[in-house]
Structure 1
């Protein structure tokens, strides 16, 4: 795909669009100026002989407008823009494969599960009206009602947090303290810390100290460094933004707190932080070019990838989509499993167990590493655990 060619065509279309908009505005401004000038001349005409004078002004205005020929000029500008857009569209059609049928695999969809994923995506994004419309048309309203109420609660708490009212979030964190601690989250401490900073920002050192004793004290042992920093902030009451701890008042801290709240709320519900639908679509966009190319190559050799249990070639989706450590044998190109675990050879290279057995042909026989001159035996190989 010639991305440079596409980019150049896109920039030409943008340039034509800007030129067309500028010329059109200039033309319309000129017409408005001519009309305004004519109106001023008509208003300045005395009552005696007004009819003939007004007619003369209007005739002069008509002559100016005919001379400008606005319709012809606007059509010319739009024509140039349409040509540029047409060329860009044809180039896109030429460079991109719009027939995605070969990349689609025939699978049996579990409609109810798919509907739940789509509804969950809408509710997760806070698009409750769209989600309600979808579940009603899909006849999933009863099944999705609990999901909806959970995300309504989350967005209510999130809205208050973004308005710097931490009481609802603190109530939720205290109620689910056991789950947060088990999950290794210090969300409750972050909320109390932010509330403490807000009290200090209002200049009340006494209230802030009382709040620290009441709510931050229990965290003093486990989070000593954070606790000491917050206590040192008492010296800067009312002017914390001018202190060495000014970052505690930044908007980014509130954004991070809101993200952490959403993450822990989703974790409590047993849902992923990112929308599964969003992840699947983005992963599909990454994999689509490779799958299309693979399907076209296999079609030439009369092979059908629809019947394969796994793809005959790896698809690199990047680290963004790596959720678990997966080892793929560089010899057999198969992912490791409990039956076929990764094995570390003395030379430091790693193969799957089946590959080692095929290379050795015997548990006691020496075999050569396929990546270096070292010789080894099956007994010298050790299983790796990720």
Structure 2
């Protein structure tokens, strides 16, 4: 641990030195300056007589040359900084090969490509996503054609080649088809989400409130409180007044504006949120000294906008049938967290000649934070095996829980006896538990 700390301290010291070197932004500024010079010269040439063209170009030479030299100097400085930070990283954290020959994702390239495409769309990088999808599909088609040519070279006839083509097409459509991500509707949905999130960062709640109202039926069916959370935050934001929210100082802002907003928008929330609405109404009596009132927590909104943005993202993606977090981000983050312990375990077992040989199962529980634990884990008390989708936990009439395969082995005909109590039951009375 001490050595790791010293490495980080050395890297931090190196970074402070490198941070003083020229940045790429200087080179970009000089490029912009060259563009401005050339644009101005083009306008002069276009509006001046022919005799002035040569003079304009001559005057342009020295400033452009100077600017190009500045660009080159800036690029050299940025390249030197990049090179030094690379060397510093290599010294502090030398690259080590993973102590395994098994690549768990080698046979799942299509899933990786889908995760990358979806991640780019979710981040609002639509042009990059479109280029990525096109390149993946063109690469796949070239591989298919190469395989067909190889098949023909080996003596296959035309009918076999057509069958192979059909087979490759089926494989492409089932495993590698990313054309659905080219959907205009899907891209428009993510563009809408991205724009609303940008507005939330700017503390503009109205686009998110409008979206929640337009989808209130679906959100209500999910038991979501998003629309009320947004409206409540809008009330508090208006209550803060123009000195905090920066909105126009008129009858729609401040305490009067918050009251007007509540009267117009809170009526249809009374069934589910009457007590919270009452608290907001009572808080107005303490407006002169809200910080010392019993309602001060309602108006503490340091993280309110980021919290409501997370809630909005979760609900928006849920209505699209997607997870709230990017699968690519989750997989990469979980892998980065678990990898150090996995490498340490593998290195020690290799040294002892007792390496783990099961490729689709971990030798120990992957250490992940609670935010990445999405469901409970049940281990059958009889078989000692972890339940899966194919072998789910089943509750029997007496209340004990067993794995489905264990329950089937205990059955004699259609009846079974609980291994933990004297109760008996029938297989049809067992109920699957959803974790």
Shorter-chain TM-score: what band? 0.5 to 0.7
Q: In the alignment, what sits opposite 2:117?
A: 119
The answer on whether the counterparts of 2:290 and 2:296 sit within 8 Å (CA) in structure 1 is yes
Aligned to 1:323: 374
Take 1:149 and 1:366, find their aligned partners in 2: how far apart are those partners? Answer: 54
CA displacement, residues 281-315 of structure 1 (integer Å, 9 cap, x when unaligned): 22333444566656965995799645xxx427443
Question: Where does the alignment leave 5 or more consecutive residues of structure 2 unmatched?
Answer: 22-84, 138-177, 242-252
Q: For residues 81-230 of structure 1, what are the structure 2 equivalents within 5 Å?
A: 88-89=92-93, 92=94, 97-99=96-98, 101-105=100-104, 107-109=106-108, 111=110, 113-128=111-126, 130-139=128-137, 143-144=181-182, 145-202=184-241, 204-230=254-280
- Partners of 1:222 and 1:340 in 2: CA distance: 35
What pairs up with 1:1-386 in 2 under 5 angstroms? Answer: 3-11=1-9, 13-14=10-11, 17=14, 88-89=92-93, 92=94, 97-99=96-98, 101-105=100-104, 107-109=106-108, 111=110, 113-128=111-126, 130-139=128-137, 143-144=181-182, 145-202=184-241, 204-236=254-286, 243-249=293-299, 250-288=301-339, 293=345, 305=358, 310-311=360-361, 313-318=363-368, 319-329=370-380, 332-336=383-387, 341=393, 352=403, 379=424, 385=433
Tell me how far 1:4 sits from its aligned partner: 3.7
Q: Distance in 1 between matches of 2:14 and 2:5?
A: 15
The SS at the match of 2:266 is helix
Output the CA distance in 1 between the equivalents of 2:392 and 2:421: 19
CA RMSD of aligned residues (A): 4.8
How many pairs does the alignment contain? 309
1:379 CA drift (Å): 4.1
Of 222-231 and 276-285, deviating more is 276-285
Distance in 2 (alpha carbons) for counterparts of 1:323 and 1:171: 30
Task: Deviation per CA, 1:66-111: give whole Å up to 9, x if none.
Answer: xxxxxxxxxxxxxxx999977645xx55xxx513552413753362
Going from structure 1 to structure 2, the CA distance change for 1:184 and 1:86 (only over 3 Å counts) comes to closer
Aligned to 1:31: none
Unaligned runs of 5+ in 1: 25-80, 368-374
- Judged with a 3 Å threshold, the aligned counterparts in structure 2 of structure 1 residues 108 and 153 are, in CA distance, closer, same or farther, namely same
Cα offset, 1:147, TM superposition: 3.1
Q: What is the distance in 2 between the residues matched to 1:332 and 1:298?
A: 32
Q: Distance in 2 between matches of 1:339 and 1:187?
A: 36
| Secondary structure in structure 2 of the residue aligned to 1:194 | helix
Relative to structure 1, the CA distance from residue 247 to residue 298 in structure 2 (aligned partners, 3 Å threshold; closer, same or farther) is same
Residues 1:141 and 1:100: Cα distance change in structure 2 (over 3 Å): farther
When normalised by structure 2's length, the TM-score is: 0.55
TM normalised by structure 1 equals 0.61
Q: Secondary structure at the match of 1:98?
A: coil
- Structure 1 distance, partners of 2:230, 2:16, is 52
Confirm or deny: 8 A CA contact 1:189 1:219 kept in the other structure.
yes
- CA distance in 2: counterparts of 1:263 and 1:328, whole angstroms: 30
| Counterpart Cα distance in 2 of 1:175 and 1:218 | 14
Offset at residue 174 of structure 1 (A): 0.9
Once residues 364 and 179 of structure 1 are traced to their aligned partners in structure 2, the CA distance between those partners, rounded to angstroms, is: 43
1:231 to 1:17, Cα distance in 2 relative to 1, 3 A:
same
- Compare CA radii of gyration and give the structure with the larger one: 1
Contact 2:123 2:194 in 1 (8 A): no
Q: 1:199 to 1:353 in 2, by over 3 A?
A: closer
User: Displacement, 1:117?
Assistant: 1.8
